[in-house]
Amino acid sequence: MRSYRLIAPAKINLYLEIIGDASGGLRQRSDGYHELAMILQSIGLADQIDVRSISTDNIRVHCNHPQVPTDKSNLAYRAAELMVRQFPEAFAKYGGVEITMNKQIPVAAGLAGGSTNAAAVLVGIDLLWKLGLTQSELEELGGTLGSDVPFCVAGGTAIATGRGEQLSPLPSLDNIYIILAKYRSLEVSTPWAYKTYRQQFGHSYIRDSDNLAARANAVHSGKIVKAILDKNTREIAQKLHNDLERVVLPAYPQVLQLREVFANQEGVLGTMMSGSGPTVFALFESQQQAEKVKLQVREAILDEDLELFVTRTITHGIQVASSV
């Protein structure tokens, strides 16, 4: 096969708790990242990534989205570079790689768009070069690119701790409907969100390594995990949580407004910002309810910059759509 078409789904955070970081104390997180406890959920909104062998010995990226760079600053490009570095013999044998990205996932939205594209490139090159990497090998490679990349490989529903790269799968949730709402021109920088959180709430971080581990472990027995195990959508929606809302909502009134508008609509089981934002999502028991509320939100916020998507939870990460 000389070409693979991959489907790369977005994710939302059903839960995001910031536990600590590396700024002092006993715990030695030398990378400046935060220790997190998250619950990540793959959703139907997805990009399409084509990965193809080419006769020249370079990496080429094309993208339909004008805001997405096609150079080394694109995480998908860096994923291909990583594979070239890790597997020089396969690179010499198969030649260069052309990546064509058809983006549907909004950029810089808190939906792991860049991370899932990178995961798709890892999976695609593994197939192109017949490397036979295992899921955990792909996840380990992904972890060197970004905190959400490992989750994006297999996707579904999972607890993520550490930087976000330590994964424990949960039973799949495949029947929850979602509205995603994002202002097209509004982007939130993830480093800014974490830095601001550290400035404002760093004093409450856990610094002792035993307590850090205990707190991270606590998510496994938390109420939202119980609700997921029980497949109780209403209870899941009641227990949504995201610490980053504490810094993003006050700084971005439009995001706060979306949260408030969703909270006041009938049929919304729960609403929360995803990741570092600015996407806000709302959960529903049926597609019909989601479509109805989408129309109501359109009427409540008369702004063409506002994008609304109806999607649902899905049970997988990167999938091969076709190969030629």
Residues near ligand C5P (CB under 6 A): 33-34, 36, 146-148, 163-164, 190-191, 194
Task: Enter the tokens of residue 39.
Answer: 């619950």
Nearest to 235 by CA among 248, 247, 252, 223: 223
Catalytic residue among 148, 182, 239, 294: 148
Distance in angstroms (rounded) separating the CA atoms of residues 177 and 194: 29
**Nearer CB in complex with ligand C5P: 162/270:** 162
Residue owning tokens 């506002």: 306
How far apart are CB 308 and ligand C5P at their closest, in Å?
25
SS3 per-residue string spanning 33-48: CCEEEEEEEEEEEEEE
**Nearer CB in complex with ligand C5P: 201/260:** 201
How far apart are CB 94 and ligand C5P at their closest, in Å?
28
- CB neighbours (10 Å) of residue 12? 28
**Nearer CB in complex with ligand C5P: 194/205:** 194
How far apart are CB 251 and ligand C5P at their closest, in Å?
16
**Nearer CB in complex with ligand C5P: 161/289:** 161
How far apart are CB 109 and ligand C5P at their closest, in Å?
13
How far apart are CB 301 and ligand C5P at their closest, in Å?
28
Bridge partners, residue 52, by sequence: 3, 98
Do 260 and 148 contact (CB within 8 A), yes or no? no
Residues 6+ positions from 127 with CB-CB distance below 8 Å: 1, 4, 51, 320, 323
**Nearer CB in complex with ligand C5P: 218/229:** 218
Dihedral angle computed from the Cα positions of residues 124, 128, 133 and 139, in that order, rounded to the nearest 10 degrees: -20
CA triple 279-280-282, angle to 5 deg: 140
- The yes-or-no answer on residue 130 being catalytic is no
- The yes-or-no answer on residue 148 being catalytic is yes
Do 146 and 75 contact (CB within 8 A), yes or no? yes
| Catalytic machinery residues | 11, 148
